[in-house]
Structure 1
């Protein structure tokens, strides 16, 4: 399958005649994520800045609450959005190289605002309570983040009252509570119940994962940033179909502000709360997303195993190390990047003393 920034692969099961989830394989080379950046713009400079964005092809978009103007820039496959608030705050979010163009213009007239560090929550804080799963919402979850072999997969599912009841009737629950065999069947059932435009699966193949992880580490970031980016991609795909969730729910994995900042550039999501909580898989939307993500992860391992002529193991067991050594002997450590997350400590056990290859 040839490389493309976004390409949908429809895995069709002719025997079961079921609709399969559109799986998006991500090529990160032409659209690198950038952290949301904020500037303070003097009142006399705001209109001039708006004209400058327009002069490089910026397209004005509908305004959200308290916004003075909003411009969207494009450069190849990358996009960036610049939002000028009535308070004088300019927020830029998106991907390079479009993001870098916007920042270059903003830095010529504005003053960057230092990011605020969140205050630690008091130990007596009450646990987060999710709204009812019958409310229209998007649940997201991931698979593969702790597995040496295979991709990082995120999935999102839009659920309303009717869908929630159907999914519960099917026995949908956290993917960690079901066997792989049962999970594959549940995934097919979910695809029968949830329409194509109300579910999304994002696959970041190992090679791209390694590239992006290396880049983020060089910028002082960690796996949580990569997870937030992948979760946001699934959410953005669903919102692109015109869905209007009342909230977005995921498991607790990092600073939710990254997701909120990414979503803020879309007026359709202004004000939609992002809720992160432990054991979010108790929500049927998150549970359905966890099953679709795990199903796509297992499918990827199966296809990789066919190409390699062996069974690609899950997790980080002794079998994983044995298989890793076999593949290194066959294709070299560099070739392992196409099949494994080589930033894992497991890599040192496969090639002692080598350190992560990514």
Structure 2
């Protein structure tokens, strides 16, 4: 059973938590968060508002170290979050999986990858170390991505910040991800024809009903049956491969931005992003900033205030 605990901490306590969990931080971006870390089976997500969410078997125990819960302990079966029931042998099937990276990061693009893993390749990829990208270091992800892309069919879509800012007024964050997942899957299915995957699994980022609502407006709507499940990389290596390729592309784009701007560009949407954005504004104004960040994030207004001092 999974527990959820939410506490509110001061800025001073938040700094202590950042230091304490530094070695346990995950390569994961969550909107308006300071950091995401994992201790054993418990995930800690700290938000800029001061709220910290603990989720996992030891949530209550770990949260108690830092403060009192804002709400009563909530126990949920992990299966209650799933909108898809997968067969017991799912991990051994030939599956097309998709995942995305960058949606919660102020700097950098949104990257979405669809990857097809034939059942004959499942064990080989696992032996290479293909697993949840959050369990790998950035250098490992970049190196592993190069190997994986030589072994399996995939389709990678990259929406640079400048393009993102043009699309964003029409597409909210969820709608944009739905469109990108659908397009990546559509293009990969076309590339691997006449092969038909035994299943298509999307790492779930919104309820299935919501996905279907947004995808209706897409030109190349995938008609095949889709499965949705959170932490999809735990259920099939195809999603793990898609996650690694997406993450590597995101990291490589951040490196390009850093080189172009002459300063280290961070991932995430914390205070460091505000400070770097302020330097970009000082260098070339909002016109320059718009080429490197997702302007609708609250970070933009914060950066403008810092730059004005």
TM-score range normalised by the length of the shorter chain: 0.5 to 0.7
The alpha carbon displacement at 1:265 in A equals 5.4
2:241 is the alignment partner of 1:288: yes
1:66-145 → structure 2 map (5 Å cutoff): 127=82, 128-131=84-87, 132-145=90-103
Residues 297-352 of structure 1 deviation map (CA, whole Å, 9 limit, x = unaligned): 11111112111112111112322111100000111023211000011111121113
Q: Distance in 1 between matches of 2:231 and 2:300?
A: 30
Query: Secondary structure of the residue that 1:338 maps to in structure 2?
Result: coil
Equivalent in 199, 203, 223 of residue 251 of structure 1: 203
Q: Indicate the structure whose relative CO is greater, using CA pairs within 8 Å and at least 6 residues apart.
A: 2
Residue in 1 aligned with 2:134?
176
Question: What TM-score, normalized to structure 1?
Answer: 0.57
2:115 corresponds in structure 1 to 157
Q: Which residue of 2 aligns with 1:309?
A: 262
Q: Assess if the C-alpha contact under 8 Å between 1:150 and 1:206 holds in 2.
A: yes
Q: Aligned Cα RMSD in Å?
A: 2.5
Structure with the bigger percentage of helix: 2
Deviation at 1:161, TM superposition (A): 0.8
Mapped contact 1:260–1:274 kept (Cα < 8 A): no
**Structure 1 unaligned blocks of 5 or more:** 1-123, 217-221
Give how far 1:295 is off: 0.4
Q: 1:138 to 1:264 in 2, by over 3 A?
A: farther
Match of 2:188 in 1: 238
Preserved contact between residue 131 and residue 240 of structure 2 (Cα < 8 Å): yes
- Report the Cα distance in structure 2 between the residues aligned to 1:246 and 1:260, rounded to whole angstroms: 22
CA distance in 2, matches of 1:288, 1:179: 15
Unaligned runs of 5+ in 2: 1-78
Mapped partners of 2:302, 2:86: distance in 1: 41
Paired with 2:220 and 2:232, the residues of 1 have a C-alpha distance of 26
Matched, 1:191 2:149: yes
Number of equivalences? 221
What secondary structure sits across from 2:247 in the alignment?
Answer: helix
Structure 1 runs of 4+ with >6 Å offset: none
Equivalent residue number for residue 203 of structure 1:
158
Q: In 1, distance between residues paired with 2:245 and 2:108?
A: 15
Between the aligned partners of 1:137 and 1:205, the Cα distance in structure 2 is: 28
> Aligned in 2, Cα 1:307/1:146: closer, same or farther, shift over 3 Å?
same
Closer/same/farther in 2, CA of residues 129 and 325 from structure 1, 3 Å limit: same
| Larger Cα-atom Rg | 1
Specify the alignment match of 1:225 in structure 2. Answer: 175
Q: Give TM-score scaled by structure 2 length.
A: 0.66
- What is the rounded CA distance, in whole Å, between the counterparts of 2:217 and 2:146 in structure 1? 31
Residue aligning to 1:36: none
* Cα distance between partner residues in 1 of 2:214 and 2:248: 24
SS in 2 for 1:323: helix
Task: Note the C-alpha offset of 1:201.
Answer: 0.6
Cα distance change of structure 1 residues 345 and 244 upon mapping to structure 2, 3 Å threshold:
same
Give, in whole Å, the separation in 2 of the partners of 1:130 and 1:212.
34
Corresponding residue for residue 227 of structure 2 = 275
Instruction: Indicate yes or no: 2:278 matched with 1:325.
Output: yes
